Copies of this chain bind each other. A is one copy, B any other.
Amino acid sequence: MPVMPVTDSMFLLGESREHPMHVGGLQLYELPEGAGPDYLNQMYHSLIGDEAGVQELFRQRPRRPVSSLGQWSWSHDDLLDMEYHVRFSALPRPGRVRELLELVSRLHGSLLDRHRPLWEFSLIEGLEGNRFATYSKVHHALMDGVSSIILANRALSADPSTMNMPPVWAVPPLEKPATNGHGGPLALLESLRDMTSDLAGVLPAVVRNANTALREQASVLPFQAPRTIFNVQITGARRFAAQKWDLDRIKAIRKVTGATLNDVVLAMCAGALRRYLMQLDALPDRPLIAMVPVSLRGKQKKSEASGNSVGAILVNLGTHLSDPAERFAAIQQSAQVAKRSLAELSPLQILALSGLTMAPLAFAPIPGVVKLTPPPFNLIISNVPGAQKPLYWNGARLQGMYPLSIPYDGQALNITITSYAGALNFGLTGCRRNVPHLQRMLTHLDESLVELETAVKS
């Protein structure tokens, strides 16, 4: 029973009823043609029936034997209770996405049971429009958010006729991390994953460096994050909002403006945050600052070694500007300056930032880091590339997949976006008490996109 690396156990040690440390994924599927009323019931029974297929990662449970002096270790769970981990749920009528998000918010807010392997999976029926949904929940000590998106993708097939596909917990691990070069939508994801494991030994030290690096970056940038309602101590309950937008709309704006895709996404978020905070009479005079993971591939020649192609930048969201075109220009410029500053950082500092990006939560368990005032940034906005082709699970077409992240003290709202099949899928995870009416952000994101479209046309 080997002792758990501190990079895993820090997520157990740092966890409390206010800070559940699991990531989640919501997936919406179309019911395949000819699916009868018992389709999901049968699927559920086949899911709980195949205990033998469960991979070791999903059989581990954390233990802290007295003899280990408080060190956590992983042990094999001989009493796997499939009906505990895999749940069959339903939505009340009318079964809109609204009811789905209510349910998923609740599921995401409760702690995983440490006496068992740290995962849960819910199959959800009753979604209108001939659809169903799944929600999965994995502890960060087991898997980070990016790895969970990779795994979710690997469990699916581009071929609608593939059947007898194993569920996500029965997908065998990769023999070697795929090294499919520049190709394939999953290449970046895989490289991110490689990096996280590379970082395993050094992360805790690196997190401190990351913070220093971010502060240095901030010091060369002409702004400082204001206090907002997002930068407070949080409570245990969660609220989740999710929606997708056509990638073509974002691409059209990019084309006209010469901005990056990420710039457009940030501008969409910035406009929405401005509206949201104004409605709550909580918009600060100074602009909000986002911490944004970015790919440095092609920009950063000296970091061509595996992994080091992702960093984090601080971006001025221009939320103090009422004109959407001005706001967009401010974001573009700020991102460019930040990326240049980033390019001037040492490889160690970039590595540090990458560590930070992969494990923003690493902040939370380290005393003194969370309560830094003022906050180095107001929220994290991550854009994780996903598969571009439609994917299927035993013939059921995946309509959308939405990541659920981990709010923590000082960071009550997280926005994570993943692309899939020609759409950008936004997942907003917030502390239920400190981020009220989170659903309104969806309307505001939509308004913000329309505003941008209008602005670039004129």
Which residues on A are within 8 Å of B, measured CB to CB? 17-18, 37-38, 40-41, 44, 79, 81, 83-84, 87-94, 99, 102-103, 106, 109-111, 113-116, 125-126, 235-237, 432-433
Contact = CB atoms under 8 A, between A and B. Distances in A.
Nearest to A433: B115
A341 to B, nearest CB: 39
Contacts of A235: 113, 115-116
Q: Which of A37, A109, A126: most chain B CB closer than 10 A?
A: A126
Given A17-B114, A84-B432, 7 more contacts: A40-B92, A90-B92, A90-B93, A111-B236, A113-B235, A113-B237, A116-B235
7 contacts: A40-B92, A41-B94, A79-B433, A81-B432, A89-B103, A90-B91, A126-B126
Given A92-B89, A433-B79, A84 B237 contact: yes
- The 9 A-B pairs at the shortest CB distance, nearest first, are namely A115-B235, A90-B90, A90-B92, A110-B110, A88-B92, A113-B236, A92-B125, A113-B237, A90-B91
Given A79-B433, A81-B433, A115-B18, A126 B236 contact: no
A92 B126 contact: yes
A392 B106 CA distance: 30
A293 to B, nearest CB: 30
Contacts of A115: 18, 235-237, 433
Contacts of A41: 92-94
Contacts of A37: 93
A221 B84 CA distance: 41
Contacts of A106: 87
Contacts of A236: 111, 113-115
A331 B99 CA distance: 51
Contacts of A92: 40-41, 44, 88-90, 125-126
A84 B44 CA distance: 28
A17 B83 CA distance: 20
A58 B91 CA distance: 27
A88 B115 CA distance: 29
A118 B331 CA distance: 44
A123 to B, nearest CB: 8
A369 to B, nearest CB: 21
A91 B90 CA distance: 5
Contact of A93 (B87, B103, B113, B125): B125
